[in-house]
Amino acid sequence: MLPRVVKYYNGIALFPAYCYVDVLSSLLVSSAVYRATRSTPVDLEFLYNYFVEKELYDKLNDPLLLLSSLRPEGTIKEISLPFLLHIYPFISSFRMSEEDVEFDVKAEDPKERKRLLWAAAHCPGLPVHYVLMLIHVIHNWNLWRQHVHKMQTVEELKEVFKRAHTADYKPYWSLEAMSRHTYLFVDSMLFKIMNVLFEMARRSDLVYEPTGSFEDDLRKLWEMASPIGHKVLLDLYSIKDENELLKSIERESYELFMKVQKMPYERISAHFTISWLEKLMEKLIAEPSVTAIMRPKNGLAFSR
């Protein structure tokens, strides 16, 4: 996460409108992922069973390893790739070299293929890390239940997985959204923080607080991106103008972005993700003692 933040602020130092290009880029990639995964929910039960069957709990002592890029060796390969292929089922194949992993995706539209390739190649670490972190917590809870109650918890686990897809997460993001749109979450937080920093720097000309109007906000973000940003978006995603932008961004992705923008600034902190996961687990498990087992010794420091 830290390299991502450093890159973000370096970009803004060179080009202040970078924050607008960055969030539009995330919205475009998120929208492509939405279109490609609508009919295939994240199968948390399958991933949990894989996690237990392969004894990944013992092998992965440090969940923060998953923040690194996908490397074609050892534990990273064994854990990251199977998880990523279920989070992003549009990945059709991958090829490993000594230094990297190259992906191919299922998409007929060349523009869509470009966006999905970007998601597969540039956004794998955080979604996998988030799902692994959540499964660690569920597994801790399952072990605790077995130890305290001396019983198997197959039915309770099935209920947890069912709740994962039916619980009301408001005002937080759902498990599905956080699993597949993690980078949009991060970039939305950074965008909100930059508005505050621009205000502090007395650069009100660079501040834009979205209004909640889908079309007005996207047109304004396009305008703020400046001609340099327009060229970047054209080169990366074949977006020629604001009308093309409006056609390419899904309302679901925009609404996720807006949820972060409406949060009080003090919630956008290192503690936000921990509180979000605690709230999620309360909804899924509803155990009074769940908070006590929420924190592995390495912590849940999403923002490191």
All residues at 6 or more sequence positions from 19 whose CB lies less than 8 Å from its CB, including other chains = 8, 12, 190, 191, 194
* Top-ranked range on mean pLDDT: pick from 53-62, 69-78, 159-168: 159-168
pTM: 0.82
Lowest-confidence segment of 62-66, 74-78, 100-104, 130-134 by average pLDDT: 62-66
Q: What letter represents residue 267's amino acid?
A: R
Query: By the 8 A CB rule, do 217 and 262 touch?
Result: no
Q: Coil, strand, or helix at residue 190?
A: helix
Distance in angstroms (rounded) separating the CA atoms of residues 216 and 288: 44
Indicate if the pLDDT at residue 184 is higher than 70.
yes
Query: Does the pLDDT of residue 267 top 70, yes or no?
Result: no
Buried b (16+ CB within 10 A) or exposed e, 24-46: bbbbbbbbbbbbbbeeeebebee
| Phi/psi of residue 207, nearest 5 degrees | -90, 135
The pLDDT > 90 percentage for the chain reads 40
Distance between CA atoms of residues 291 and 280, nearest Å:
11
| pLDDT value for 299 | 34
For CA atoms 233, 199, 173, 285, the dihedral sign is positive
Write out pLDDT tens, residues 187-225: 999 999 899 889 888 999 999 999 999 999 999 999 999
**For residue 78, pLDDT beyond 80:** no
CA-closest candidate to residue 230, choices 10, 16, 20, 2: 20
What is the per-residue pLDDT for 138? 86
What are residue 102's DSSP bridge partners? 95
Instruction: Report which of 77, 67, 68 is spatially closest to residue 133, judged by C-alpha positions.
Output: 67
Average pLDDT, the chain: 81
Let me know: does 105 contact 116? Beta carbons within 8 Å.
yes
Work out the number of other CB atoms within 10 angstroms of the CB of residue 50: 16
In the three-class reduction of DSSP (H, G, I as helix; E, B as strand; rest coil), residue 91 is classed as strand
The pLDDT confidence band at residue 74, using thresholds 50, 70 and 90, is: low
User: What's the average model confidence in pLDDT over 237-246?
Assistant: 95
